[in-house]
Structure 1
Amino acid sequence: MKLETKEDYRQLMLQLLDPLKPLYSKGCARLHLGDSGVTYPEVSMEMEAFSRPLWALVPLWLGGGKGFEEIYVTGLRNGTDPLHCEYWGGFNDYDQRFVEMAAIASGLIFTPEKLWEPLEEREKDNLAKWLYGINEHIIPDCNWQFFMILVNVALQKLGCPYSKEKLISGLDKIESYYIGDGWYRDGGSSQKDYYISFAMHYYGLLYSAAMEEEDPKRCIQFKERAKIFAGDFIYWFDENGAALPFGRSLAYRFGEAAFWSAYLFAGLDDIPAGVIKGILSRHLNWWLDQKIFDRDGVLTIGYSYPNLIMAERYNAPGSPYWGMKTLLCLGLPDNHPFWTAKAEPLPTLDSKKALKQADMLMQRIGGDVIAYPAGVCEKYGHGHVPEKYSKFAYSTRFGFSVARSQIILHENAPDSSLAFVIDGDDYVFVRKYSDRYEVLEDRVISSWHPFPGISVTTTIIPKEYGHLRIHEIESQYDCTAYDCGFSVKKFTKEYEQRAEGTAAAVSNEEQSCQVTGAGPGAAGFVIESDPNTNVLYPNAAIPAVSYRIKKGETIRLETQVKSSVR
């Protein structure tokens, strides 16, 4: 799709949101998009689906566009009226509806003439009281603090009762999450993923755009940190428009690029508008080429195709519309340089770069972007945590796989992992998290244990052909270890697979991955992954090398992983 002018971007937004119009409830406060389960009740699911399109609609209105105004004024009127059958209700601690308040608050901050002024006094009072509820309950100590911040900013600007105490405490907590070099933690989490870009920085830049007069010092600080972060985050983007599939909440899809729209919206220009336009236009078009819509044009849960296996427990049918945050650029004025700039390619980037605060080493090789993370993550999380954070490598062209089960290799689909199967057992054990790690300029070293009684130290070294893995293993069990390469798409042109001697390879017309091993009992092996385990394609195979591990011995393995894309 041509994405050059403001009108082009508006047409994209309409393409994404127009299919929702017949699905709003009679009172416009609910939006039912599907029947899959999630950790919160139906009223929250439908309120979430109602709210998230506002992340694009508010910029549309701010930038002079029209559409959906009557739906959203009516929805706000009825959803916050305790006497209406579509009332969104009161709250519990940690309520999902607090998340969705942020989009409404953004609309009240930047386009009050669309969402606030058309309301009668009683309706304004209902809305303000409903929003104030976020101040009366417990919210998580993480990016959710920004939802409370934005709500109180909106209430303050509208002259309604707000909590100055909660506003200040929320901002203080956000400040405590900053770890330097442009990076935040997401609350107490050690994981560095897209939440740093589309949550911590995004909302900080929204705050900067809204509160420049009231809180200039903090606004400047948010902007300066975003400038630094941009220099690292640009490494997560491929020349073809794809961004790195890594971490949780990938169902938000093109939300991966939301930071770049917020960067422009906050008035930052260290990176030229043409470069950012190139990132956004290529990224959005990459997503339009994927199979992310159902037959009615509604976004699905999944990544590059509908896929509930890889989803988190908090992914409801309306959740993917958080990706609409990337269209914040629609709020730029007509004369902004972004609209007249030509989409430029990425600037020259280092072939290898250590992102120390992100605990990963990045490599750009032959058109592919590969991240080698240290395996830093929580022991427990929202679903498939080891697969989303602890594999040895993540690629924009090969993606990664999530386990269908921990039983049998083909169900586990352990691409980019060293998978252990203890003799006499069918369970598969991989790196869940690292006990110790070090990210250097040319390698990543981690110590980990897939199972009590098995300890591993792994060194990953990027090479011109891909990467080298060195494993030092001590085991109290006889077992087999499978060192697995990238997943490669099956059922496509020129597909081939082979396993001979100490090597295995899988390839097609666009990809190739070969693994070659050196160690006791090294033998090539191809794992036929279960369908829908890889996030990029529904059918894949994984080249691997199997090794024999003897109880009580210290074993050293070396596996070359050669990968190429066309």
Structure 2
Amino acid sequence: MDNERTQWAARMLALLEPLKSRLTPGGSGFALGATAAHYETATIPMEAFSRPLWALVPFWAGGGHDAAWEEIYRRGLVSGTTPGGPGYWGSCRDLDQKFVEMAAIAYGLLLTPDVLWDPLTDTERENLAKWLDNINHYECSHSNWQFFCILVNCALKKRGMPYNKERLELGLARIDSYYDTHGWYFDGKGGMKDYYNGFAIVFYSLLYAMTMQQDDPARCEKFRARACKFAQDFIYWFDENGAAVAYGRSQTYRFAQAAFFSLCAAAELPVFTPGIIKGIVTRHLDWWAAQPITDNGGVLTIGYAYPNLMMSENYNAPGSPYWCMKAFAFLMLPAAHPFWQTPAEPLPALDAVRPLPGAEMLAQRVNGMAVLYPAALRVKHPFPQMEEKYAKLAYCSRYAFSAARSQRTLEEAAPDSVLSFRYLGHIFVKAAPESWEMTENGTRAVWLPLPGVQVVTEIALCDGGHLRRHTVMSEIACEAFDAGFAVPDDCPGAAHSCTAAAARAEHPGGFCAVEDLTDCGTPLVLEPMPNTSLQYPRTVIPMVQYAIHPGTTVLETKVTFA
């Protein structure tokens, strides 16, 4: 049946096609690049090999067939798990990256044993099961990683192989201990709340509910109920144009942002109408299809809306971006399913302002855009650029945040959507607050940008943007810069200007303006270093410069955008 599922399957397969020519000699990896990650270089091709399964497995589960890919993965799984063979993935250690990649293999054993398990010989199955069992003998990170152990043991159990019931139950108990409220989990005790809910913890919990109903019906029902609650908040992270808000780490996973809603479609979880869910996922994939995210050979690059190593984490290797393939979970639905005949619908009516207590942030809708105002930042420095990824004053679906190249100059720091300070030739920005609170229409945070300076920042949402009030108590003289979003500046129709009271940057798709309400600042438009914004290679940042003197200084700024 040539219908919409066929078209989406073809788009998915086209994304994976360039990998076929990059198989490693042992047939159990893809060699995609020369950059490194914090884990062993030998694991990098294995990561690249496993991650396409996040799309191929639902494709097969929904009735798709591609003989070449099926042969590649049957041969690769055998080669990777045969001790002493040329493609053997090797033994494991505590916190091994291979545990992350085992989850995609478990996905396949749970949903498509006819493709990845049944054709293997008894010896090949035993080798694969023994290799997967490595995860039961080493420590997994106390975070979303607990689900890797859960899924592997579920897969072993379903395939009739020895599994570790104690580790399975321990993982489930740990995941449950991370739960907070409104469907949201911390990423480990005290961890952040970010996309690791949507494309990891809640995603995996829904997968568990889909595959373990007969074994664990009460927990499956709990996971489904939490996923329904989560969906009511998570929809506020999406723009009507299909984009999502770039917020937090792992942005190179790109359209994994919509993986949760794609799995909701596959699970037939009634979080919204099928048409609304379909609209979220398909518009999102269409938005990403318009971005230059592959190299000239068609391989996905590290970066966000364009190739950009500078914003990456230390765990991003050349194959890491293929986690995005989770967004194709909806291919589990067979071609005859009514979903594929259902028209995609626009987003439902959403509140102009909505507190998201489970996410510890406030959401705003402005001209169809999604804007998030995070209140809390719990983890200070476990990953690169935590300040940029978590601690800005606001995040927007049409103006992704900027990641600093250094803190030496404003141009290199690119301090968008934040109050920054310049002192002794260094730029200081907001990090983890000393305290925070969230109201129905704003946030309040107390934070220390540098020794001798304390700031109380109060944000109140208004039509078209928000008002900021910063009370700065300083023991030193320095300069402060209150900035709006980074706006594209290298396109026809882009322009920027300053008046005595405001700085403004505009482009054909919108604008951002920053207005001084105290009559004591100097508006300016900063031209930051190229490739600092995740979304646009060249940008400008409207801002207001203030002089800070010893004592207390109150700054009031209005930021509007469209």
- Which TM-score band (shorter chain)? over 0.9
CA offset at residue 339 of structure 1? 1.1
Partner of 2:56: 57
Partner of 2:498: 499
- Cα distance between partner residues in 2 of 1:539 and 1:230: 34
Q: Which amino acid aligns with 1:450?
A: P
Query: What pairs with 1:8-27 in structure 2 (closer than 5 Å)?
Result: 8-27=7-26
| 1:421 counterpart SS class | strand
Q: Does 1:481 align with 2:480?
A: yes
Q: Which amino acid aligns with 2:156?
A: L
CA offset at residue 4 of structure 1? 6.9
Determine if contact 2:3/2:335 at 8 Å carries over to the other structure: no
Determine if contact 2:249/2:389 at 8 Å carries over to the other structure: yes
Post-superposition Cα deviations, 1:130-163, rounded to whole Å, max 9, x if no partner, equal: 0000000011111111000111011111111110
My pick for the range that moved more, 522-531 or 496-505, is 496-505
- Cα distance between partner residues in 2 of 1:444 and 1:489: 28
Q: Which amino acid aligns with 1:555?
A: T
- Cα distance between partner residues in 1 of 2:195 and 2:36: 24
Q: Which amino acid aligns with 2:353?
A: K
Determine if contact 2:177/2:189 at 8 Å carries over to the other structure: no
Q: Which amino acid aligns with 2:191?
A: S
Q: Which amino acid aligns with 1:21?
A: K
Partner of 1:444: 443
Partner of 2:377: 376
CA offset at residue 271 of structure 1? 1.0
- Cα distance between partner residues in 2 of 1:302 and 1:353: 30
| 2:448 counterpart SS class | strand
Partner of 2:517: 518
- Cα distance between partner residues in 2 of 1:336 and 1:440: 43
Q: Which amino acid aligns with 1:104?
A: I
Q: Which amino acid aligns with 2:106?
A: A
- Cα distance between partner residues in 1 of 2:27 and 2:36: 22
- Cα distance between partner residues in 1 of 2:267 and 2:257: 18
CA offset at residue 499 of structure 1? 2.6
- Cα distance between partner residues in 2 of 1:84 and 1:342: 50
- Cα distance between partner residues in 2 of 1:542 and 1:375: 24
Query: What pairs with 1:18-37 in structure 2 (closer than 5 Å)?
Result: 18-37=17-36
CA offset at residue 349 of structure 1? 0.5
- Cα distance between partner residues in 2 of 1:377 and 1:342: 41
CA offset at residue 32 of structure 1? 0.7
Aligned residues: 559
Determine if contact 2:99/2:148 at 8 Å carries over to the other structure: yes
The share of aligned pairs that are identical, in percent, is 48
- Cα distance between partner residues in 1 of 2:33 and 2:510: 35
Partner of 2:344: 343
Q: Does 1:72 align with 2:73?
A: yes
Determine if contact 1:273/1:337 at 8 Å carries over to the other structure: no
Partner of 1:366: 367
Partner of 2:227: 226
Partner of 1:213: 214
CA offset at residue 87 of structure 1? 0.6
Determine if contact 1:258/1:326 at 8 Å carries over to the other structure: yes
Post-superposition Cα deviations, 1:529-565, rounded to whole Å, max 9, x if no partner, equal: 10110011011111111111111x111110111212x
My pick for the range that moved more, 146-155 or 519-528, is 519-528
Q: Which amino acid aligns with 1:503?
A: A
Partner of 2:542: 543
Query: What pairs with 1:3-152 in structure 2 (closer than 5 Å)?
Result: 5-67=4-66, 68-152=69-153
Q: Which amino acid aligns with 1:34?
A: G
| Structure 1 stretches of 4+ moved >3 Å | 518-521
CA offset at residue 337 of structure 1? 2.7
Q: Does 1:556 align with 2:554?
A: yes
Partner of 1:203: 204
- Cα distance between partner residues in 2 of 1:398 and 1:110: 38
- Cα distance between partner residues in 2 of 1:30 and 1:447: 48
Q: Does 1:509 align with 2:526?
A: no
Q: Which amino acid aligns with 1:200?
A: I
Partner of 1:435: 434
Partner of 1:289: 290
Q: Which amino acid aligns with 2:313?
A: E
Determine if contact 2:182/2:357 at 8 Å carries over to the other structure: no
Q: Which amino acid aligns with 2:200?
A: A
Q: Which amino acid aligns with 1:460?
A: I
Query: What pairs with 1:397-476 in structure 2 (closer than 5 Å)?
Result: 397-422=398-423, 425-476=424-475
Query: What pairs with 1:176-191 in structure 2 (closer than 5 Å)?
Result: 176-191=177-192
Post-superposition Cα deviations, 1:188-232, rounded to whole Å, max 9, x if no partner, equal: 243111001111111011111111101000001100100111100
Determine if contact 2:238/2:369 at 8 Å carries over to the other structure: no
- Cα distance between partner residues in 2 of 1:348 and 1:83: 58
Q: Which amino acid aligns with 1:64?
A: G
- Cα distance between partner residues in 2 of 1:186 and 1:549: 38
CA offset at residue 258 of structure 1? 0.3
Q: Tell me the TM-score normalised to structure 2 length.
A: 0.98
- Cα distance between partner residues in 2 of 1:283 and 1:44: 31
Give structure 2 stretches of 5+ with no counterpart: none
- Cα distance between partner residues in 2 of 1:330 and 1:270: 18
CA offset at residue 485 of structure 1? 0.9
| 2:38 counterpart SS class | coil
CA offset at residue 488 of structure 1? 1.0
Q: Which amino acid aligns with 2:557?
A: T
- Cα distance between partner residues in 2 of 1:508 and 1:210: 48
Q: Which amino acid aligns with 1:360?
A: M
- Cα distance between partner residues in 2 of 1:27 and 1:421: 54
CA offset at residue 391 of structure 1? 0.4
- Cα distance between partner residues in 2 of 1:190 and 1:209: 27
Q: Which amino acid aligns with 1:529?
A: P
Q: Which amino acid aligns with 2:206?
A: L
- Cα distance between partner residues in 2 of 1:502 and 1:346: 37
Q: Does 1:303 align with 2:298?
A: no
Determine if contact 1:519/1:547 at 8 Å carries over to the other structure: no
Aligned-residue CA RMSD in angstroms?
1.3
Q: Which amino acid aligns with 1:558?
A: E
Query: What pairs with 1:322-337 in structure 2 (closer than 5 Å)?
Result: 322-337=323-338
CA offset at residue 375 of structure 1? 4.2
- Cα distance between partner residues in 2 of 1:563 and 1:531: 22
CA offset at residue 518 of structure 1? 3.4
Determine if contact 2:453/2:476 at 8 Å carries over to the other structure: yes
- Cα distance between partner residues in 2 of 1:270 and 1:203: 16
| 2:310 counterpart SS class | coil
- Cα distance between partner residues in 1 of 2:133 and 2:209: 22
CA offset at residue 520 of structure 1? 7.2
- Cα distance between partner residues in 1 of 2:182 and 2:78: 44
- Cα distance between partner residues in 2 of 1:127 and 1:563: 54
| 2:32 counterpart SS class | coil
- Cα distance between partner residues in 2 of 1:447 and 1:265: 43
My pick for the range that moved more, 497-506 or 535-544, is 497-506
| 1:428 counterpart SS class | strand
Partner of 2:259: 258
Determine if contact 2:482/2:544 at 8 Å carries over to the other structure: yes
| 1:278 counterpart SS class | helix
